[in-house]
Amino acid sequence: MTGHLDHIASDCIALDFNRLGGNFQNVVFTSTNGEVVRPLHTAPWAQDAALHADDIALVEGQLSGDFFCAPFGASQGQPIHGWTANGTWHAGEKTGDTDGARRHTYRLRETVQGASVTKTLTVRPGHPFIYQRHTFNGGTGHLPAGHHAMIRTPGGARLSFSQKLYGMTPNAELESDPTRGRSILTYPQRITRLDQVEGKGGATHDIRDYPFSSRHEDIVLLAGDPELKIGWSAALAKADGFLFFAVKDATALPETVLWMSNGGRDYAPWLGRHTHVLGIEEVVSSCHETGEFSSTADVSRAGLAQGLCLGEDRTSEIAYGFGAIPAPDGWRDIADIAVDRTSLTLLDAGGDSVTLPFDGAHFGL
């Protein structure tokens, strides 16, 4: 599969972009003092070519890093997470700016509901961050869409987020057949406190600390504040030595989906070995309104978009990116991430902060 990999790098980040399926592999962040962190997850079976068969979607057979989903989730007549996560991306322009930025453009061979899709990946010197943009031209209707970044935290991580209205679990649990796997949270439920999420048998879980249990497969959705232009998510994994953070256009991706995959699936290819994995997935769908990963063109009662809307003469864009640095000494909980046109500041609950260079123009700042 190495023939499908494009190496993209700056002084702070390096990754391999897989043109067959559109996922990221071998993602490495390097700090200014040379310290290296590798927060993203790759499934233990991802290099097993025998799994890339007709009965397993490509996205699951090579599960790794981050990939863009359009449509997000299952859809009739398409592989899970759509052709953006299972199709072929053709390389286009590779351009450089005078400030050293490197921009890589790709076009999806397949269409999405009639829309052509362009992916732009940008890295910049001194920025431990990869900037992503997906552009849809034409097409019809609407669909759920989102990014599917995954980290692995065997030593545990403390989770933090920009302002949310509420949390919830979807209508149906991920694994309901005990002969195949298990979910341990209650479905559906409305969540007002992340430290008091209801589980089966009357248990209560604090999902801010992941993993909070073992041998389970669960999902929680957080609905963003409609007043926010920029949203963020962070995972401080002190034992594993990294701080992962993602930034998004919150008007385009108002939901944060937490996929908690910790040994809760016993069937192939999972076989109970997919552990300590957390998907931090920034999404637009109607799930926060209906409990289902569907879509509509209407704004929800919460004032949030419920789908990516396409049109014959319409161009739609989604801006997103993620980064990582070594876990700062003494930090315990990310209180805020502030961004402007030139900087991103990570603030710990104890008052310490780290400021990084940042391209706010990517997000319209």
* φ, ψ at 358 (rounded to 5°): -155, 145
Provide the β-strand partners of residue 102: 96, 123
Contacts 24+ apart (CB under 8 A), 78-86: 81/57, 81/148, 82/112, 82/143, 83/108, 83/110, 83/111, 83/112, 84/22, 84/108, 84/112, 84/117, 84/134, 85/21, 85/22, 85/23, 85/58, 85/59, 85/148, 86/21, 86/57, 86/58, 86/59
List CB contacts of 351: < 8 A, sequence separation 6 or more: none
Domain 2-331 has CATH 2.60.260.20: no
In angstroms, the CA 22 to CA 28 distance is 17
| Cis amide bond preceding 128, omega within 30 | no
At 26, is the secondary structure helix, strand, or coil?
Answer: strand
| 10: Cα within 13 Å, side-chain hemisphere | 25
At 41, is the secondary structure helix, strand, or coil?
Answer: coil
pTM above 0.95, yes or no: yes
**Cβ pair 296, 142 in contact under 8 A:** yes
At 61, is the secondary structure helix, strand, or coil?
Answer: helix
pLDDT tens, 153-179? 999 999 999 999 999 999 999 999 999
In angstroms, the CA 272 to CA 255 distance is 28
Q: What angle do CA 345, 252, 63 make, to 5 degrees?
A: 80
Buried-state track 229-250, b at ≥16 Cβ within 10 A, e below 16: ebbbbbbbbbebebbbbbbbbb
pLDDT tens, 10-64? 999 999 999 999 999 999 999 999 999 999 999 999 977 555 556 789 999 999 9
**Cβ pair 144, 286 in contact under 8 A:** yes
Per residue of the chain (365 residues), give pLDDT as tens.
467 999 999 999 999 999 999 999 999 999 999 999 999 999 999 977 555 556 789 999 999 999 999 999 998 889 999 999 999 999 988 888 878 999 999 999 999 999 999 999 999 999 999 999 999 999 999 999 999 999 999 999 999 999 999 999 999 999 999 999 999 999 999 999 999 999 999 999 999 999 999 999 999 999 999 999 999 999 999 999 999 999 999 999 999 999 999 999 999 999 999 999 999 999 999 999 999 999 999 999 999 999 999 999 999 999 999 999 999 999 999 999 999 999 999 999 999 999 999 999 999 99
Domains of the chain: which residue ranges? 2-331
